[in-house]
Structure 1
Amino acid sequence: MTHPRIKIFFDGGCRPNPGAIEAAVVIRGHAHWFDLGHGNNQDAEWLALIEAVKLSQALGLEHVELIGDALEVVDHANRAMRDGAREQGHAATFAALVENRPPARIRWIKRQQNLAGIALASRHPR
C-alpha cells in the first residue's frame, strides 16, 4: 500500500551575507520560524533543511517529502543520504538525522513555488 507523502517546504535566508540566519519550514500550511545565529546563505539553507527534518521527526511524521529551492543543497542532501558516513559539516548532521528515518524524497522547486520561501519573504517587506 502506498502512503501519501507529506510535503514539507524549507528555506533559509541570511541578511546580510554573511550575517544573521533565519529559516522557515512549512508543514500542512503552517509556517514554523527559526532564528539560527550567524553564517552565510549556504549555512542558512542547510540549517533550514536540518530544522525541517528535526520538526518532522518531533511531530512523528512519516513518508515526508522535503522540498526546497537551493539546488546545491538538495543535490548534496540526496548524496548524503546515500554516502552518509563520508560526509562532513552540515551534510554529516543531516545524514545522521535521516539515517534511521529517511525522507521519502528530497526535491528542488523554483523559488516562487517554495511556500517556506514565501513565508520567509513575508517577514521582510520591501
Structure 2
Amino acid sequence: MSRPPLKIYFDGGCRPNPGRMEAAVVVRGQVHFFDDLGVGSSSDAEWLALCHALEVAQASGEPLFDLVGDSRGVIGQASGAMPCRTPAARLHRGRFLAAASTLPPRRLRWIPRQQNLAGIALARRRDPGPVRNGSL
C-alpha cells in the first residue's frame, strides 16, 4: 500500500503592501518561518513562500509531495494554468521551475485561507492570542 503524498503548506505576506516580506511553511505540523525576505508586494511574498516550500519539501527526502497554498494567482501561474502578466511574475516562475526541475511537486493545490496551516501560523505569530495546545 502506498503512502499519500506529503502535504507542504505555504503562505507569504507583507505589511504594509508593499512592505517587509515574510513567509511560513508547515510540514508534518512543524512550522518554518522565513524572515528578512526584503521588501515587496504580497504577490512577491507568496512566490517566495512557494519557493521556500519547495526547498523544504525537497530537503524532506519524500519523493511525492503536494505544495498547498491559498494564493490562486501564484498557484495558477506556477502550474502554467494562468499567464504571468508581469516581469516580476515571469521571473519568479522561472526561478520556481528551475528549482523544481530536480524534484518537482506532484501537484500544486489551492485551498481556502482558513484551511492553510502556514497562513494560520503567520497570523498567530503576528497576534498570538490564547495558546490552546501549543501546536497547529
What is the TM-score of this pair, normalised by structure 1?
0.89
Distance in 2, matches of 1:65 and 1:3, equals 13
- The answer to whether the aligner puts 1:110 opposite 2:105 as a matched pair is no
Shift of 1:2: 4.3
1:31 counterpart residue number: 31
Distance in 1, matches of 2:61 and 2:51, equals 15
Distance in 1, matches of 2:116 and 2:104, equals 21
94-103 vs 45-54, greater mean Cα deviation: 94-103
CA deviations 1:29-70 (Å, max 9, x no partner) are 010000111111000000000000011112222200100000
Instruction: Provide structure 1 residue ranges, at least 5 long, that are not aligned to the other structure.
Output: 81-86
Query: Does the residue aligned with 1:88 lie in a helix, a strand or coil?
Result: helix
More strand by share: 1
Answer whether contact 1:3 1:63 (CA < 8 A) is retained.
no
Distance 1:57 1:69, change over 3 A: same
Distance in 2, matches of 1:2 and 1:59, equals 17
The one-letter amino acid paired with 1:24 is A
Distance in 2, matches of 1:93 and 1:62, equals 20
What is the TM-score of this pair, normalised by structure 2?
0.83
How do 1:72-87 residues align onto structure 2 when only pairs under 5 Å count?
Answer: 72-79=73-80
1:83 counterpart residue number: none
Query: Does the residue aligned with 2:24 lie in a helix, a strand or coil?
Result: strand
Find the structure with the greater CA-based Rg.
2
How do 1:1-126 residues align onto structure 2 when only pairs under 5 Å count?
Answer: 2-35=2-35, 36-79=37-80, 88-125=90-127
The one-letter amino acid paired with 2:24 is A
RMSD over aligned Cα atoms: 1.7
The one-letter amino acid paired with 1:45 is E
Aligned length: 120
The one-letter amino acid paired with 1:51 is H
Distance in 2, matches of 1:72 and 1:89, equals 15
Distance in 2, matches of 1:95 and 1:71, equals 17
Query: Does the residue aligned with 2:68 lie in a helix, a strand or coil?
Result: strand
Query: Does the residue aligned with 2:34 lie in a helix, a strand or coil?
Result: strand
